[in-house]
Amino acid sequence: MSRNLLFRTAQSTLRQSFYKPSSSSPQIPFLRQFHITSPRMTVHTYDSADAFKKAVQDNKVVLLDCFATWCGPCKAIAPILTKHSNDEKFKDVHFAKIDVDDLPELAQELGITAMPTFLLFKDGELTPAEKLVGANPNALVKLLETNAPAAA
């Protein structure tokens, strides 16, 4: 066994015992690495057109991210979208995602020609009120700020 591998194994074991104490050892609050509460919002991924359409009808404002797993810009903007979904000023926006490869009929129905494409739906209407093509974080924030129920 190489010295480097041995060092990494020992380091990993030490890290696990330090951050994940056994059931017999007391848990020390200041060592906790994560918050107890989970984020209030999330980005919902839809696997069927019917589930997505129901979400649009049930929410006042829905921001849909049309993405593909192989798309580099989609991967780059995904964490930014997740961050905004947890932002207090966008608490009334329902964040949704669909994989255009899994739902090609819905993607065609919505007129998706490039990824990522962000569509904003308002008041239960299945026709998008706004459309943003491309991974542009500033334009995404502007789209959210102008259409969030709290901002309107």
Instruction: Return the C-alpha torsion angle 91, 94, 95, 101, nearest 10.
Output: 180
Characterize the bridge pairing of strands 117-122 and 43-45.
unpaired
Side by side, which strands form the sheet with 130-133?
43-45, 93-99, 61-67, 117-122, 130-133
Of residues 127, 143, 16, 138, the one with CA closest to residue 77: 138
Using the 8-state DSSP alphabet, how is residue 72 labeled?
Answer: H
Active site residue 66: no
Residue found by looking up tokens 């007129």 in the block: 111
What b/e sequence results for 71-80 when a residue is b if at least 16 CB atoms lie within 10 Å of its CB, and e otherwise? beebeebbee
Active site residue 71: yes
Q: Which of 63, 64, 71, 103 is catalytic?
A: 71
Residue found by looking up tokens 């194994």 in the block: 9
Q: Which of 74, 81, 96, 120 is catalytic?
A: 74
Which residues are marked as active site? 71, 74
